[in-house]
Amino acid sequence: MMASASVRISLLFVAIGLLSLFFADIAITSINPWKDLTALFIGIVTPDFLSLQGMGTALLRTIAFAFTGVALGSVSGFLLALAFRWRVVRMFSAFIRAIHELFWALIFLQFFGFHPLTGVLAIAIPYAGIFAKVYSDILDEVDPTPARVLPAGTSTFSAFLYARVPDALPHLATYTAYRLECGLRSSAVLGFVGLPTLGFYLESSFSQGFYSEVGALLILFYVLIATLRFWARPRLVPFYIIAAPFFLGDGLPIIWGNVVRFFTEDIVPSPIRNGDGIAGLANWLSDLTLHEALPGIWNTLVLTQIALVLTGICTLIAFPLISRHFGGPKRRGIGHILLVIARSTPEYMLAYILLQLWGPSMLPAIVALALHNGGIIGHLIGKRSNEIRLRPDAPQGCDRYHYELLPRLHRPFIAFLLYRWEIIMRETAILGILGIYTLGFYVDSAIQNIQFDRAMVLILITASLNILVDTISRRVRQHLKLRTSVTCEGH
């Protein structure tokens, strides 16, 4: 019964994705995309590490922003997790994690400027919401037996410290380590809005056509992610956290008058500031809704649904690359490398590169989202497939794939895909900063026009849309009785 229901849900999402294609702007508008792709490929295989000035500083600041932001987000998220049973805390956590790091950065840039606090808070705030949810799930799954055998009169704090934390600690540490990897990706992407991380130098090199420098930066970033488990060992992490704030740089000084003005004037709707009354506010909201919010919501939904279906297709193609049921160790080794590259490259960074090569349309965003998320889910499903034991006389090749593995992997595949749905929506909105007409495009345009009141309303709409999709996703998973472990959900 559940299997047929999950198949019907799958077909429904495929139908919506195919229908969305008729409303999508999908085109390659550059004059000679193959020439540009060839130039980029040559640049990647002939990286120029010596021509980049400030690469070492950019690398250190990328790491420093990641450690500082993730540490602050982790502590804040743990405190929120302790009170997660309260509805107001759950709603607050859902709201702050629904707003992308780049949106937070754009907000803080308006009053903190290019101060390190902008980058740190842009990572820490949404991560606090994510940590709160996952930490709460981990603590809720702790075995209650140790708490039952505690002596009578044991305080709540002591019971928590000695009965719940020891069992949860390995899972908390594993998830926090994964979030650090995410923090490095987020830190790099913050360079695209002007902060001095690797993304800033990547955008600069790409815009000037220095593809060998682009190749050097990408390789450096992949090496940074791939070697994380070697240089970020648990016993060294406290040292990194203490040292990180000293490598953030000084930036420009904060003008506190700008902070006050932003919250008391800039984000107040202009009809209220100008004394136009309720009628003026209604007209202002109507214009914003008709010409910016609704087109942005529509394009965000269209792009999300297409990217979600293509992510599923990429996953089904990708997971056999690392599955022990297909091929030998050498092929699986190559598959692991390809999936590491796919899931380590932030969607924003990949979309930016494809946009430069193919021209402005939804296509670069769709492909970027599908490759990144397909790499992530493909890795998880590939690991699940390795846990399946087949009979010695099990069929080979395509028959093994279609009749032995796919039926057993379908439910976790749908579970992971539904979990990534809200994340894809969140990334789709922010890709509008690159010129694609999603909600992020209208937010960025409002900020460029110094219309912070309009920008804040659009950001609130974006957050609400993400919360809605997350709620639908969670209810569908509950209806289908699908579950993914908290450590895997983080991916």
Instruction: Please check whether residue 260 lies inside any domain of the structure.
Output: no
Same domain, 281 and 180: no
Query: Is the residue at 209 inside a domain?
Result: yes
Answer yes or no: do 303 and 413 share one domain: yes
- Dump pLDDT digits (tens) for 29-72: 877 778 878 888 898 889 888 877 778 888 999 999 999 999 99
Is residue 145 located within the same domain as residue 204?
yes
Residue 262 lies in a domain: no
483 and 344 belong to one structural domain: yes
Summarize the confidence of residues 110-114 as an average pLDDT. Answer: 90
Q: Which of 285, 286, 302, 262 is closest to 465 using CA atoms?
A: 302
Domain assignment present for residue 190? The answer is yes
Q: Is residue 39 part of a domain?
A: no
Q: What is the pLDDT of residues 129-149, one digit of tens each?
A: 999 999 988 888 776 667 666
Banded pLDDT at 159 (limits 50, 70, 90): low
Q: Is the pLDDT of residue 489 over 60?
A: no
Q: How far is CA 152 from CA 35, 147, 149, 155, 164, in A?
A: 75, 11, 9, 9, 17
204 in a structural domain: yes
Overall average pLDDT of the 381-386 stretch: 89
Query: Distance between CA atoms of 285 and 279, rounded to whole angstroms?
Result: 10
pLDDT of res. 147: 65
Provide the residue range defining the domain that includes 408.
1-31+271-491
Residue 488 has pLDDT above 50, yes or no: no
Last residue of a domain, one of 192, 213, 248: 248
Which pLDDT score is estimated for 152?
Answer: 67
Judge contact between 316 and 400, C-beta under 8 A. Answer: no
More confident residue, 137 or 362: 362
Asked if residue 156 has pLDDT above 90, the reply is: no
131 and 179 fall within a common domain? yes
| Predicted pLDDT at 483 | 66
Number of domains the chain contains: 2
Predicted pLDDT of residue 3: 56
In a domain, residue 261? The reply is no
**CATH number of the domain bearing residue 403:** 1.10.3720.10
Same domain flag for 149 and 204: yes
Residues 323 and 463 in one domain: yes
263 assigned to some structural domain: no
Four-point Cα dihedral 11, 15, 18, 20, nearest 10? -130
Confidence at residue 185, expressed as pLDDT on a 0 to 100 scale: 93
Do residue 327 and residue 476 come from a single domain? yes
Q: Once rounded to an integer, what is the mean pLDDT over residues 263-292? A: 91
Contact (Cβ atoms closer than 8 angstroms) between residue 125 and residue 104: yes
Residues 118 and 178 in one domain: yes
Q: Specify whether 236 is located in the same domain as 187.
A: yes
Cα torsion angle, 16, 22, 24, 28, sign: positive
Instruction: Tell me the angle at which helices 362-386 and 294-318 cross, rounded to the nearest 10 degrees.
Output: 40
Q: Which of 248, 281, 307 is the last residue of a domain?
A: 248
Distance between CA atoms of residues 10 and 115, nearest Å: 46
Mean per-residue pLDDT over the chain, rounded: 88
Whole-structure pTM value: 0.89
- Kindly state whether residues 280 and 378 are assigned to the same domain: yes
Per DSSP, 378 falls in state H
Considering the domain architecture, whether residues 376 and 472 belong to the same structural domain is answered as yes
Q: What is the pLDDT of residue 490?
A: 43
Q: 173 pLDDT exceeds 90?
A: no
